[in-house]
Amino acid sequence: MLYKKLSELTDEERGRIIGRGGELADVGDTVAAILKDVKQNGDAALREYTKKFDGADIEAIEISKEEIDEAVKNVDPALLAHLEFAASNIRKFHEAQMPKKMWFIEISPGIELGQKVTALESVGAYVPGGRASYPSTALMTIVPAKVAGVKNVVMCTPPGKDGTVNPLTLAAAKVAGADHVYKIGGVQAVAGMAYGTESVLKVDKIVGPGNVFVTAAKMQVRDMAEIDFPAGPSEVLIIADDSCNARMAASDMIAQAEHDPNSVSVIITTSEKLAEEVRDEVVRQAAKTLRTEIVATSLENAAVLVADSMDECIAFSNEFAPEHLEIMVEDSDAVLEGIEHAGSIFVGNYSPVPVGDYASGTNHVLPTAGYARIYSGLNIDHFLKSSSIQKISKQGLETLKDSVISIAEKEGLKAHADSVRARFE
């Protein structure tokens, strides 16, 4: 874990912090080969890669509704209630994001313009597995799609070595309203959803987080299926001052570190005293975590930085463009005003990232590795598309006629101009 004043960072250290994350190009050829194989060989390739990467022999790729119902029966009713509570909050938040399905404005007599919003027909939700199961991601990807009105929402998640999927993940898929669930993961799952196979429904868009291989696969299939955005290893940046509780801040860094060895946890503060306390707390708490090896590796990417002013903290945050940004300062509104790039923002000592991960209602599928500069986190708009509408009378066209004809002829498109003239001849 790096501990240093911001002004004393070397170019190499600063570059390593800002340029965190796995390089997609490093796995590009491997990913391309798997995508091509699944495109050509369908289910057979899916089974082969599931055996190779997950160690599971599978025959049926889709999990039947009966299997899902049986899995739900094995979930603790109290835990199921918590899933339903979280799903309800997620549903409410995304319902509030829904735009008007249709609207019109009259810009002048006889010219009425509008927009019609419709849902995508099919969406694929990728839910990671491997080191842990993520029923929360099933809720975050499927619930908004169903709120938007997507007819077919499919979920892919890798099986365990015994060929089964965690019952809690299946329960979450049912609570969220998934239409199909497939026990495949990794690059092969992205390929199955993008190209379609004998068992897997081809989708119009793929959403959800994953490792560098999944992210690279999503980027490579965009000619066949749109994606949400690159979403790789988790990260948090904390902006703090003397009002921040060091134990809380350290626990939030550890919470990100336990996700993945490539996760990144950074705190930048104007207080040297707080920085020292956080550094010591991180070391103390890391020794007590259950996922000791993952946390230890992840903390090699961590940093505790001391800035000379809050303006420096804000500027660094905007350069970093974090997936998760925590603001733990006395004048949080002033800091919030200066933030330009962040996936999801958590304000105050009592707004830790895990509440957004699970149950507050905001979405936890967010752009990582600096992509928050250009992408929004998963929201209702990812599942919708809009069509512009024009209702124009002869009177309205009269007011547009001269402009359209002049510009069209200037562009050398006489037939465009004539299509307008014809209506007045």
Catalytic residue among 94, 323, 326, 364: 323
84 is catalytic: no
> What residues form DSSP beta bridges with 141?
none
- Contact between residue 299 and residue 3 where contact means Cβ atoms under 8 Å apart: no
DSSP code of residue 19: T
C-alpha distance across the termini of the chain, in Å: 77
Q: Is 317 annotated as a binding residue?
A: no
Which residues contact residue 295 at a Cβ distance below 8 angstroms, ignoring those fewer than 6 apart?
254, 257, 258, 286, 289
Q: Is 382 annotated as a binding residue?
A: no
Angle at the Cα of 322 from the Cα atoms of 318 and 328, rounded to 5 degrees: 85
324 is catalytic: yes
- Distance from C-alpha of 247 to C-alpha of 224, rounded to nearest angstrom: 47
Query: DSSP string of 168-198?
Result: HHHHHHHHHT-SEEE---HHHHHHHHHH--S
- Distance from C-alpha of 104 to C-alpha of 252, rounded to nearest angstrom: 46
Q: Is 357 annotated as a binding residue?
A: yes
Which residues contact residue 79 at a Cβ distance below 8 angstroms, ignoring those fewer than 6 apart?
168
Q: Is 381 annotated as a binding residue?
A: no
Token pair of 174, please?
């049912």
Which residues contact residue 357 at a Cβ distance below 8 angstroms, ignoring those fewer than 6 apart?
136, 364
Q: Is 386 annotated as a binding residue?
A: no
Q: Is 180 annotated as a binding residue?
A: no
Catalytic residue among 180, 258, 277, 324: 324
Query: DSSP string of 106-148?
Result: EEETTEEEEEEEEE-SEEEEE---TTS--HHHHHHHHHHHHHH
Interstrand relation of 324-328 and 102-108 (parallel, antiparallel or unpaired): unpaired
Residues contributing to the annotated binding site for Zn(2+):
256, 259, 357, 416
Residues contributing to the annotated binding site:
126, 188, 211, 234, 256, 259, 324, 357, 411, 416
Residues contributing to the annotated binding site for substrate:
234, 256, 259, 324, 357, 411, 416
Residues contributing to the annotated binding site for NAD(+):
126, 188, 211
The residues assigned a catalytic role are: 323-324
